[in-house]
Amino acid sequence: MIGFRVLQEAAGPARLGRLTLPHGEVSTPAFMPVATHGSVKGLTPPQVRETGTEMILGNAYHLWLRPGCGSIAALGGLHRFMGWDGPILTDSGGYQIFSLAPLARVTDDGVSFRSYLDGSTHFLTPEDMIQAQEQLGSDVAMMLDDCPAGGAAAAVVEAATERTARWAARAVATRRRADQAVFGIVQGGTDPALRAASARALVTLDFDGYAIGGLSVGEPRAETAVVAAATASLLPRDRPRYFMGAGTPADLVALAAAGIDLFDCVLPTRHARNGTLFTSEGTLVIRNARHTADPRPLDPNCACLTCGRFSRAYLRHLVLAREPLAVTLNTIHNVTYYQRLMRDIRAAIASGTLAAFAATIGGGARENEEEASCPA
């Protein structure tokens, strides 16, 4: 019911794979749209499916705060709750707790923090987060990691990395569900030795898959891919590798080339809500006046509902009129763009042309400065 097969390897570390999970199979490298609160913002589950999405990501920390993982369990689990019958990975929310929760304080026991919803105080252990995700019934649960903020001092990163390894052992000891994969999270910042130590410690625990956390948090972009590639090379070949929170189209190509199998990022969905749209000719800010009378679709190469039916002029009108349909149509388009990108990446790996494909990505006119990393 849970498994991962490498179908084909390229000359470099890039590979094609098939991830088998209780709720279905996923062709990798794969991109998971983000459904933080149990909904890909603005899309019904059939609309998510039509983008070509096979697997989505939920956030156990957010769902734990509201409506509560026990409540979701009583309603039949996360799949039934949100009406999505495909695979779901739940992030434990380490990054969100450490980066976003007010007054988060960590000890070896766990982390205490205040709810951003009502200021109430909470304490969560690595065991709690596994149990919460077992209540959710996601296909893949993530261990709770100690995820220092970007730019943290070396000693802080080192302590967090060591604590993450101790928490990893507790996560493995706690898990009970045979129908749920559990992934470990490699930390270590941008320090190769720390990354290697973290990877070694986690691999001995025999997780179902391994995530690379603590990157794409503000470090120089060139460094991200180098550290990711070095870390990926230390992980077992027969387990899926998940890079948390990346990224731009160019990031995804570079990281797939480094041997990453799974991605998530809010970029396509958040950009959609801001009216920044991905096209085969670069990004486009639909609010700009030059789209006022433009009868063309966003992207002539896109088969999504938005490009099939609507002009740039109409999409701009919806944004200016603050029509809620703008969110839906823009999100359908951006997620479809990302899923087409993943298909292209897989095809390029299959044909041994990923390097040539990479050279075609990241060019084109851009109407705005692209973010350097995936915002949380």
Q: Which residues bind its own copies (CB under 8 A)?
A: 37-46, 66-67, 71, 74-76, 81-83, 292-293, 295, 305, 309-311, 313-314, 317-318, 320-321, 323-325, 327-329
- Using alpha carbons, list the distances in angstroms from residue 99 to 170, 197, 213, 255, 376: 23, 24, 13, 24, 9
Q: Could you tell me the smallest distance in angstroms from the CB atom of residue 49 to its own copies?
A: 12
Is residue 91 annotated as a catalytic residue, yes or no? yes
Is residue 85 annotated as a catalytic residue, yes or no? no
Residues making up the chain, counted from first to last = 376
Q: Could you tell me the smallest distance in angstroms from the CB atom of residue 333 to its own copies?
A: 12
Both tokens assigned to 87 = 């695979």
Dihedrals phi, psi of 122, to nearest 5 degrees: -140, 155
Q: How far is CA 103 from the centre of its chain?
A: 25
Dihedrals phi, psi of 196, to nearest 5 degrees: -65, -40
- Per DSSP, 370 falls in state P
Pairing outcome for strands 121-124 and 111-114: antiparallel
Q: How far is CA 248 from the centre of its chain?
A: 12
Tell me which residue of 22, 24, 28 sits closest to 5, measured CA to CA.
28
Q: Could you tell me the smallest distance in angstroms from the CB atom of residue 182 to its own copies?
A: 26
- Closest to its own copies by CB, 118 or 369: 118
Both tokens assigned to 373 = 């990393």
- Closest to its own copies by CB, 176 or 322: 322
- Closest to its own copies by CB, 46 or 119: 46
C-alpha to C-alpha distance for 190 and 133, rounded to whole angstroms: 29
Q: Could you tell me the smallest distance in angstroms from the CB atom of residue 34 to its own copies?
A: 12
The gap between the terminal CA atoms of the chain, to the nearest Å, is: 31
Q: Which of 91, 208, 251, 299 is catalytic?
A: 91
Q: Which of 139, 146, 208, 264 is catalytic?
A: 264
- Closest to its own copies by CB, 40 or 349: 40
Q: Could you tell me the smallest distance in angstroms from the CB atom of residue 62 to its own copies?
A: 8
- Closest to its own copies by CB, 41 or 221: 41
Around Cβ 208, how many Cβ atoms within 10 Å? 19
- In single-letter form, the type of residue at position 121 comes to T
Catalytic residues: 91, 264
